[in-house]
Structure 1
Amino acid sequence: MPSTFSFPEPARRAWRATERLGLHEVVVVVVAFLIYFTIRGLVVDRAGEAMVRAFNLIELEQQLHIYWELRMQSWVLDSYLLIRALNAIYFWGHMPLVALLGVWLFLFHRRAYYRTRNAFLASGAIGVVIYWLFPVAPPRLVPFSGFIDTMAAFDRFGYNAQETQAFVNPFAAVPSLHFGWSLLLGAVVAWVGRHPLAVAFGIAWPIAMFFSVIMTGNHFILDAVFGAMVSFAGLGVALLAERLWRAALARRQLASTPL
């Protein structure tokens, strides 16, 4: 019988070297962004549908007696410094900080990195499907709702700026992965750091992000709730996939062991 095909040893060494350098992770991120941009292109023209769902969400929050977003935003509108701080948390505390912490996990906590990476990919996949099926406008875009877009009003560089419009889905309010990912990654940092500063950061960052997404007019309270649910559902998928992978490896090892 013909022997099983295997890659030459130089090719295997090159593969392991690129894996150690994290080049595989760059490919994963690029593919994930390409998928996101594809989904974005399918929803940017569905403004009417997104607005109707936003009004329905406001009505639901009113029925639940948690429609507090306008009141919460009013707490900071008289303070220029607070508004700028919340804008900075919303913008720089999302993907830039996620990327920075991802590099830290990759370098110093590789196992936690892969588990967290898989949780992000799974929750991101769930998120983009929801964005595609059920686009929802954020508070700042809902007409006559009274919300102020603090990013556009007080910062030259924000998600409404010309530099970033091409990279943003304007109707991706539900779920808020801004909040969900900060909660998930904050929990990971607190768990692997095992230091009072890491624990304090893991608690403070999601809290700051929650107030930021609400007070900047970018998300409703229920958006954040759904974001947390989707993010931890992604973690559940990652843990299940890890468990199945280990079981498959164990079966393969058992099958290859001579009797």
Structure 2
Amino acid sequence: MGASYSRDLAPRPAEIARTLQDRRTPVSPAETDADGRRRTSAPARQSLRALLDRMRSPRPPRLWFEIMLVALVYWTYSIIRNAVPEQESQALKNADRIWSFQESLGLAFERSLNHAVEGVTWLVVSMNYYYGTLHYVVTLGVLVWLYRRQPGRYAAVRLALAVTTCFALVGYYSFPLAPPRLMEGMDFVDTVRVHETLGSMSSGNLANVSNQYAAMPSMHVGWSVWAGITIAVLAKPLWVKVLGGLYPVLTLIVIMATANHFWMDAVGGVVCLAFGFAVSYAWYGTSAYRLPQKLASP
């Protein structure tokens, strides 16, 4: 029995050969951790890194994909935004809180601005159409311009806009807010209803197809600041840069004058935009505007 037991414990020739081979095969420091144990194989890490590098590298945008992506993001955003429960009671309470906070700062000027423009018909009507159209026209126009003239930067700048838009949904869910025109006893003028013009999707005859209590954050401001920065940084003519800088300022005035938003909603829009640019920076490793304008030929 002793001899048999010894033979069972004795290493076999194949095991001896594998042991010697393992000892002869050098292990690079990169493949071991602090305790000398093997890490994940270097080729696997290199393959993963190469895949991430390819995904992060700016590539020529494809028209069909971009149209589909923009449509999908906006459709999803609209569906979710309008699916948020319309918590009227809570939304009105939050509006009162916002107004009280602004009053404590001495910056509750939306009502005065609203009443001032209401006395100038051509101005308030123009603002209604501005609110109802430029929000889409300018944003899409900047996207098309980037696609055609700045293909190397297009994906990174578009990513910032997409993340900004999706992140805004957090605000709509967590902080339902009534716009000033729906506040009770505050004497705000709903300029779209009074003048029967195009304007807010949540006002007038379109109120039943859009969530009226999704005012925080303001994507009118979030998108306009995105467009304004992009134009001011990347456009070459000085007058175009100036228009880019003025666009978000005018948008801020319009959203308050038409009683669709508080200025605090604009702050929320800028916060969402900052998050969008941060995600874009983290993904591409640099500012979207520092990427090359043109893509290198393959």
Range of TM-score over shorter length: 0.7 to 0.9
**Is 2:64 the counterpart of 1:23?**
yes
**Is 2:175 the counterpart of 1:129?**
no
Q: Provide the C-alpha distance between the structure 2 equivalents of 1:20 and 1:122, rounded to a whole number of angstroms.
A: 18
Match for residue 253 of structure 1? Answer: none
Q: Provide the C-alpha distance between the structure 2 equivalents of 1:57 and 1:22, rounded to a whole number of angstroms.
A: 42
Match for residue 88 of structure 1? Answer: 129
Match for residue 238 of structure 2? Answer: 196
| Cα displacement (A) at 1:34 | 3.4
Identical-residue share of aligned pairs (%)? 25
Match for residue 99 of structure 1? Answer: 140
| Cα displacement (A) at 1:54 | 0.9
Q: 1:146 to 1:112 in 2, by over 3 A?
A: farther
Per-residue CA deviation, residues 201-234 of structure 1 (Å, 9 max, x unaligned), is 1111111101100000000011112211221221
Structure 2 counterpart of 1:39, which letter?
I
Q: Provide the C-alpha distance between the structure 2 equivalents of 1:20 and 1:210, rounded to a whole number of angstroms.
A: 32
**Is 2:126 the counterpart of 1:120?**
no
Say whether the 8 Å CA contact 2:125–2:197 is kept in structure 1: no
Q: Provide the C-alpha distance between the structure 2 equivalents of 1:148 and 1:204, rounded to a whole number of angstroms.
A: 25
| Structure exhibiting the larger radius of gyration computed from Cα positions | 2
Q: Provide the C-alpha distance between the structure 2 equivalents of 1:173 and 1:45, rounded to a whole number of angstroms.
A: 11
Match for residue 190 of structure 2? Answer: 149
Structure 2 counterpart of 1:225, which letter?
V
Q: Provide the C-alpha distance between the structure 2 equivalents of 1:165 and 1:33, rounded to a whole number of angstroms.
A: 19
Query: What TM-score does the superposition give when structure 2 sets the normalisation length?
Result: 0.70
Query: What TM-score does the superposition give when structure 1 sets the normalisation length?
Result: 0.80
Per-residue CA deviation, residues 159-180 of structure 1 (Å, 9 max, x unaligned), is 22445752x3321211111012
- Structure 1 gap ranges (5+): 1-18, 245-259
Match for residue 248 of structure 1? Answer: none
- Structure 2 gap ranges (5+): 1-59, 287-298
Does the residue aligned with 2:285 lie in a helix, a strand or coil? helix
Following superposition, which runs of at least 4 residues in structure 1 exceed 4 angstroms of deviation? none
**Is 2:250 the counterpart of 1:208?**
yes
Match for residue 42 of structure 1? Answer: 83
Q: 1:161 to 1:103 in 2, by over 3 A?
A: farther
Match for residue 226 of structure 1? Answer: 268
| Cα displacement (A) at 1:44 | 4.3
Q: Provide the C-alpha distance between the structure 1 equivalents of 2:78 and 2:136, rounded to a whole number of angstroms.
A: 15
Say whether the 8 Å CA contact 2:164–2:272 is kept in structure 1: yes
Does the residue aligned with 1:205 lie in a helix, a strand or coil? helix
Q: Provide the C-alpha distance between the structure 2 equivalents of 1:65 and 1:226, rounded to a whole number of angstroms.
A: 19
Per-residue CA deviation, residues 40-70 of structure 1 (Å, 9 max, x unaligned), is 3432431111111111111111112111111
